[in-house]
Amino acid sequence: MGKILVTGGAGFIGSNFVHYLLETTNHSVVVLDKMTYAANEMSLAGLDSNRFALVKGDIADRDLVDSLVADVDAVVHYAAESHNDNSLADPSPFVQTNLVGTFTLLEAVRAHRVRFHHISTDEVFGDLALDDPAKFTETTPYNPSSPYSSTKAGSDLLVRAWVRSFGIEATISNCSNNYGPYQHIEKFIPRQITNVLSGIRPKLYGRGLNVRDWIHAQDHSAAVLKILEAGKIGETYLIGANGEVNNITVLRTILRLMGQSEDSFEHVADRPGHDLRYAIDGSRLRQELGWEPVFTDFEAGLADTISWYETHRSWWEPLKAEVEAKYAKAGQ
């Protein structure tokens, strides 16, 4: 039994991980979260205060980070600016949080010799052609496209350098696109679900042929826990569940599951520099650590997710008008 510091634990994947840890282990959890627009305290409501605490603060605050890291057995680092579209509008918080914030955490785990797991993305590898049979592996060269993915790539490289130069005990995971409960409604799947629930026509960028490799956030959490417990120090693990689907198919499936005509959406301006396809070869994680996804039926996972947004209107409804106003300004 140990104490784990989860950065960004009030965001989408971090909050899913906090729930997963508290439900499946005896660990206690301290969340460090700046509570940016992407955080939601309701995602952590009702957790057992004997095993859980929320600290509101910045991962780039050296003194705060140092005092928290000194008091835990491990750090799992989710905190980031995470949305590509925002990084195109203003890259500056991405550089500050994803690079300077990660650097600040690395210095604290170096000083206190604390186990560190860094959460990253498949976007560090850039994109694949639609007709390319290849998938990303642990040895694919980095080639990020956006300010978001380039700052995540930089943060991964910082972790690798701190392992090699200072001998910190760290692992890295690069995961594909997550879906599930507690995801901010700026993101594709919850944006379209809440559009339908709000009487707004869903919005598809460009022709919608871009492919994403979907994994349920709970499967991601289980993989991260495996790596934390049994991953080899200094190694990188790719996390994916063979969930490649193009955007127009995802959108049509959402519409069908919600009882709408599959054509009731609008094509809007494409994302500049829009990555075509991501695909993960997750065989190393399966073979070495025995992880397997539970949510293997994407349509069933989507139906659960739709039902979560239907029954948690108070979680997302206050955000909807502002998110859509921001997209409208960008013609999206």
324 is catalytic: no
Looking only at residues 21 through 80 of this chain, which bind ligand DAU when binding is defined by CB under 6 A? none
Residue with tokens 């634990």: 9
**CA proximity to 331, closest of 24, 88, 98, 149:** 88
Residue 304 annotated to the active site: no
Phi-psi region of 237 (alpha: psi -120 to 50; beta: other; left: phi over 0): beta
R_g (Cα) of the chain, nearest Å:
19
Pick between residue 201 and residue 313 the one whose CB is nearest to ligand DAU. 201
Contacts 24+ apart (CB under 8 A), 193-201: 193/254, 193/258, 193/305, 193/306, 193/309, 194/309, 194/316, 194/320, 195/324, 196/254, 196/255, 196/258, 196/260, 197/309, 197/310, 197/313, 198/320, 200/324, 201/264, 201/265, 201/266
Residue at 12: amino acid letter: F
How buried is residue 42: exposed, middle or buried, by Cβ count under 10 Å (0-12/13-18/19+)?
A: middle
Is 184 an interacting residue with respect to ligand DAU (CB under 6 A)? no
Q: Among the candidate windows 69-77, 102-110, 165-173, 204-212, which touches ligand DAU by CB under 6 A?
A: 204-212
Of 51, 83, 284, 326, the residue at the interface with ligand DAU (CB under 6 A) is: 83
Structure tokens that stand for 47 in this block: 């957790």
Place of tokens 């063979």: 242
Rounded to a whole number of angstroms, the minimum distance from the CB of residue 187 to ligand NAD is 7
Residues 236-295 that bind ligand DAU (CB under 6 A): 247, 271, 278
- For position 82 contacting ligand DAU by CB under 6 A, the verdict is yes
Q: What count of other Cβ atoms lies within 10 Å of the Cβ of residue 169?
A: 14
**What are 205's two structure tokens?**
């960028």
Which stretch in 119-127, 153-161, 219-227, 284-292 sits in contact with ligand DAU by CB under 6 A? 119-127
Catalytic residue at 78? Answer: no
Q: Which is nearer to ligand DAU, 28 or 192 (CB)?
A: 192
Q: Which is nearer to ligand DAU, 107 or 304 (CB)?
A: 304
**Residue of 20, 33, 127, 148 marked active site:** 148
User: Please, what is the minimum distance in Å from the beta carbon of residue 25 to ligand NAD?
Assistant: 20
27, 77, 115, 187: which one binds ligand DAU (CB under 6 A):
187
Catalytic residue of the set 122, 127, 156, 219 = 122
Q: Which residues bind ligand NAD (CB under 6 A)?
A: 7-8, 10-14, 32-36, 38-39, 58-60, 78-82, 97, 101, 119, 121, 152, 175, 177-178, 184
The reply on whether position 125 binds ligand DAU by CB under 6 A is: no
Binding site for ligand DAU (CB under 6 A): 82-84, 121-123, 176-177, 187-188, 191, 203-205, 210, 212, 247, 271, 278
